[in-house]
Structure 1
Amino acid sequence: MDDDSRLARWQRHTEVALLVASMIFLASYAVRVLGHGQLPEPVLDLCLALTFAAWAAFGVDYLVRWRLSGQRLGFVHRHPLDTVVLVLPLLRPLRIVKTYEAVQRRHGRPRLSLHARVISYAGMATVLLGFTGALAVYQHERGAPGATVRTFGDAVWWTCSTLATVGYGDVTPVTPRGRLVGVGVMAVGLGLLGTVTGTFASWLLQAFSREDDERPPGS
């Protein structure tokens, strides 16, 4: 059995487990951030343990796929999203979207058109990344001197305005880590907005082109 088939089998056998691990990671991180100062310390410690356990699962999966690929450094260059997600696990929701598509394809379920898939997955990624971005900035900003992000609602409002590239400026991060999260949210917002806008424009052009082709000559 060659390396490609072994790698494909590993990915098929682990995709659902990694999807569950991604959800556990996001849920445990959210509970730990939002329950800070409200939940008992043992519960917060359990959430932290689940977070690190899920992160370890991501690391094991990455190492196994790297080993089975036989590409060495080439694997890192050919799978940049996987590498970034391993270093910054808060971006793991992007892998949830990719795993969902793989499961749909594996079970032979009806798939949307290319344009609909791009818009749908971009929307899912926006919601998931917006939620994780709000959690991250709230974690680093709450209680900081001069902070304007005092509640999770403030963090959600800031994330929405940043992802939409509006940026009212009424709520802004003041800590170095909070601003670093802000840079990431800005980059994601620009990328997703450009993707959705470009895909929608392409769909309109194709629709108008089909109408012109179907129109009788001389009409």
Structure 2
Amino acid sequence: MNLKKWESATEWPLTALSLLFLVIYAWQILSEPTGIWNRAAEFSMNALWVVFGVDYLVSLLLAEKKWEWFKHHVFDLLVVLLPMVRPLRVLRVLTALNALHRTSGMALRGRITMYVGASVTLIVFIGSLAVLDAERSAPGASIKTFGQALWWTFVTITTVGYGDYAPVTSTGRVIAFVLMLGGIALIGVVTATLASWIVDAVSAEEHKESSINHEEVEEISHRLERIERKLDDSEGRGVAMVTGNPVEPKTAGPHAIEMDPHMIPIRDSK
């Protein structure tokens, strides 16, 4: 089996497992289970982490250019190795959007909008859970509820930073750093997409006006051609006759002069 077949076969199963990982992670943080339920949640998340690690190793082994594949999948390696960023494994759900746009034929700008919206939603939710898990038990922490964590995540990812809530732990500050970088990147994508849409709209309007002007010029040109043909026909038929019956020039020879038998010759009075 090559890498392409492996990725095609594992795309949807790993996406489903990523969603399951998010559900268990959110339930563990928001419900704060104890005893057997907490151990079951920990075991499930560790089992899913092993699955993701196996997927990474198999993909690396199947890659023809392993170094190139490694350089383009550093984030996957960090997710496997660093516990603090493992919740970001749920971004694997975005691969479902990738499969969706391949079947729907969605335009590029629509795909970008869909990716940005889904990414913001996932990052805000995951960031809120992660910072709540890191901060609520720390001494002097101001983020102790999910609502406070959600508000802090919003103001951080938008780079506003009101300062009413702030992380006091090292993990919380790392999360803030990641959120700020992600917010700057997302703002750049949104700005670039909006600018592209405006440029395309202006270009389309200019093209429309140019097409209208071109059609008007062609219409005037056709009218002038019709007028010229009429004038040429009038000149060709312009043989003066007493009877008013025109003589077609095309029926006469090059040197012959057609005479109407009813024309009255003018005799010299002398």
Aligned counterparts, 1:20-35, within 5 A: 20-35=16-31
Asked whether 1:70 is paired with 2:67, we answer no
Measured after TM superposition, the shift of residue 103 of structure 1 is 4.9
Aligned counterparts, 1:80-95, within 5 A: 80-87=74-81, 88-95=85-92
Measured after TM superposition, the shift of residue 11 of structure 1 is 0.9
What CA distance in whole angstroms lies between the structure 1 residues aligned with 2:112 and 2:164?
Answer: 32
The one-letter code sitting in structure 2 at the alignment partner of 1:77 is K
Measured after TM superposition, the shift of residue 104 of structure 1 is 4.6
What CA distance in whole angstroms lies between the structure 2 residues aligned with 1:27 and 1:7?
Answer: 29
Runs of 5+ unmatched residues, structure 2: 217-270
Deviations 1:136-165 (A, max 9, x none): 100010021111101111000000111112
1:162 pairs with one of 144, 156, 161: 156
Whether contact under 8 Å (1:115, 1:200) holds in the other structure is no
Give the equivalent residue in structure 2 for 1:196. Answer: 190
The one-letter code sitting in structure 1 at the alignment partner of 2:94 is V
Asked whether 1:58 is paired with 2:52, we answer yes
Whether contact under 8 Å (1:164, 1:189) holds in the other structure is yes
Asked whether 1:138 is paired with 2:135, we answer no
Give the equivalent residue in structure 2 for 1:115. Answer: 109
Measured after TM superposition, the shift of residue 96 of structure 1 is 1.1
Whether contact under 8 Å (2:21, 2:90) holds in the other structure is no
Runs of 5+ unmatched residues, structure 1: none
Give the equivalent residue in structure 2 for 1:12. Answer: 8
Greater shift, 96-105 or 142-151, is seen at 96-105
Whether contact under 8 Å (2:101, 2:111) holds in the other structure is no
What CA distance in whole angstroms lies between the structure 2 residues aligned with 1:116 and 1:125?
Answer: 14
Bigger radius of gyration: 2
Deviations 1:76-132 (A, max 9, x none): 113344334434322223221123312552xxx323211111111111011101111
2:180 pairs with one of 186, 190, 210: 186
Change (3 A) 1:27 1:172: same
Whether contact under 8 Å (2:97, 2:115) holds in the other structure is no
What CA distance in whole angstroms lies between the structure 1 residues aligned with 2:39 and 2:101?
Answer: 35
Deviations 1:8-46 (A, max 9, x none): 11111111110111011111111111121xx34211111
The one-letter code sitting in structure 1 at the alignment partner of 2:115 is Y
Change (3 A) 1:123 1:103: closer
How many residues align? The count is 210
Asked whether 1:102 is paired with 2:96, we answer no
Whether contact under 8 Å (1:24, 1:50) holds in the other structure is no
Change (3 A) 1:74 1:208: same
What CA distance in whole angstroms lies between the structure 1 residues aligned with 2:90 and 2:154?
Answer: 17
Q: Output the TM-score relative to the length of structure 1.
A: 0.89
What CA distance in whole angstroms lies between the structure 2 residues aligned with 1:201 and 1:103?
Answer: 26
Percent of pairs identical after alignment?
Answer: 37
What CA distance in whole angstroms lies between the structure 2 residues aligned with 1:193 and 1:95?
Answer: 21
